[in-house]
Amino acid sequence: MHVYALCSLLLTFLCSLAASLETDRTLDIHAWPLSAPKSTSYAQLTYNSTHANIKTHSNPAIPPNDDIVRLGFHNSAGTWSGIATAALNFRAEKDKKLQLHVNGEGMAYHIGFKVSELGTSSTTSNKKDDLSVEVVRAQPGPIPHLNRPVVVNADGSAAEEEKVEKTFLQKYWWAIAGFVLLQVVLSGGKGE
Ligand SMILES: *[C@@H]1O[C@H](CO)[C@@H](O)[C@H](O)[C@H]1NC(C)=O
């Protein structure tokens, strides 16, 4: 019984710890020339909500009469998410930059592709050959507070917002958890 309680406490603790740490995700970007029957891997990325790195990268084989190449990835639901760009942009003399758009949870939901002449781009970080990558975070737009009365002071100035107080439990759960853990360990020791 004590062992069980101890285990469940430990598990709870580890779960909350795991939730606060962020692990790197991986993403395969595919290149898909318009006339090609299927896509080929273009770049393998690892990313978190702020940084991305290129693990492998290979330029696509583009059929000579093809002008357009689709670039994208399959999201977790399996649907294609991507853009189309000129085949000329994959030439060796171009500086290419993948932009990884991530949402509030840090998941990639779209990509962008920027191309400039080699040597004109200032970024040197997160770069492999002529390809670089950057993470673009979604900026939440301003949210209007609807149906909320405007509170003003007697002189007509805006009243100060109330601060939301954390409950006692929210503030001190770790101390309580530690205390309970100690009790369990101590009483377990006595019983032996
Ligand atoms: C993302 O990864 C970079 C290194 O690749 C690291 O410096 C950064 O702290 C990480 N960000 C988060 C939020 O974990």
* 24 CA to centre of ligand 1 in angstroms: 8
SS3 55: strand
The residue contributing the CA closest to ligand 1 atom 4 is: 51
**Considering the domain boundaries, does residue 101 fall inside one?**
yes
What is residue 70's predicted lDDT score, i.e. its pLDDT?
95
Nearest to 28 by CA among 123, 133, 129: 133
SS3 64: coil
What is residue 188's predicted lDDT score, i.e. its pLDDT?
80
* 153 CA to centre of ligand 1 in angstroms: 45
What's CA 44's distance to the chain center, in Å? Answer: 15
Work out how many domains the chain is built from and give that number: 1
- Residue range of the domain that includes 112: 25-137
What is residue 52's predicted lDDT score, i.e. its pLDDT?
94
The residue contributing the CA closest to ligand 1 atom 3 is: 51
106 CA closest ligand 1 atom index: 13
**Considering the domain boundaries, does residue 17 fall inside one?**
no
What is residue 7's predicted lDDT score, i.e. its pLDDT?
67
Output the 3-class SS for 136-187: EECCCCCCCCCCCCCCECCCCCECCCCCCCCCHHHHHHHHHHHHHHHHHHHH
**Considering the domain boundaries, does residue 5 fall inside one?**
no
21 CA closest ligand 1 atom index: 14
* 16 CA to centre of ligand 1 in angstroms: 19
* 107 CA to centre of ligand 1 in angstroms: 14
Test site for ligand 1: of 45, 51, 53, most ligand atoms within 8 A of the Cβ: 51
Question: Dmax over Cα atoms in the chain, in whole Å?
Answer: 81
**Considering the domain boundaries, does residue 154 fall inside one?**
no
What is residue 26's predicted lDDT score, i.e. its pLDDT?
93
By the 8 A CB rule, do 133 and 101 touch?
no
What is residue 161's predicted lDDT score, i.e. its pLDDT?
62
Q: What's the chain's average pLDDT?
A: 83
What is residue 97's predicted lDDT score, i.e. its pLDDT?
93
Q: Which residues line ligand 1 (CB under 6 A)?
A: 22, 48-51
The predicted-structure confidence for 100-147, as pLDDT tens digits, reads as follows 999 988 899 999 999 988 766 555 556 667 899 999 998 877 887 787
The residue contributing the CA closest to ligand 1 atom 6 is: 51
Q: CA-to-CA distance for 44 and 55, rounded, in angstroms?
A: 5
22 CA closest ligand 1 atom index: 14
**Considering the domain boundaries, does residue 63 fall inside one?**
yes
Q: CA-to-CA distance for 110 and 138, rounded, in angstroms?
A: 10
Q: CA-to-CA distance for 95 and 121, rounded, in angstroms?
A: 7
Residues 6+ away with beta carbon under 8 Å from 108: 25, 27, 47, 73, 75, 100, 101, 102
Nearest to 56 by CA among 27, 33, 78: 27
**Considering the domain boundaries, does residue 8 fall inside one?**
no
**Considering the domain boundaries, does residue 20 fall inside one?**
no
**pLDDT, tens digit only, all 192 positions of the chain:** 566 777 677 777 666 666 656 678 999 999 999 999 988 999 999 999 899 999 999 989 899 899 999 999 998 888 999 999 999 999 888 899 999 999 988 899 999 999 988 766 555 556 667 899 999 998 877 887 787 777 778 887 777 666 667 788 888 899 999 999 999 998 886 655
What is residue 42's predicted lDDT score, i.e. its pLDDT?
95
By the 8 A CB rule, do 56 and 45 touch?
no
By the 8 A CB rule, do 120 and 97 touch?
no
**Considering the domain boundaries, does residue 90 fall inside one?**
yes
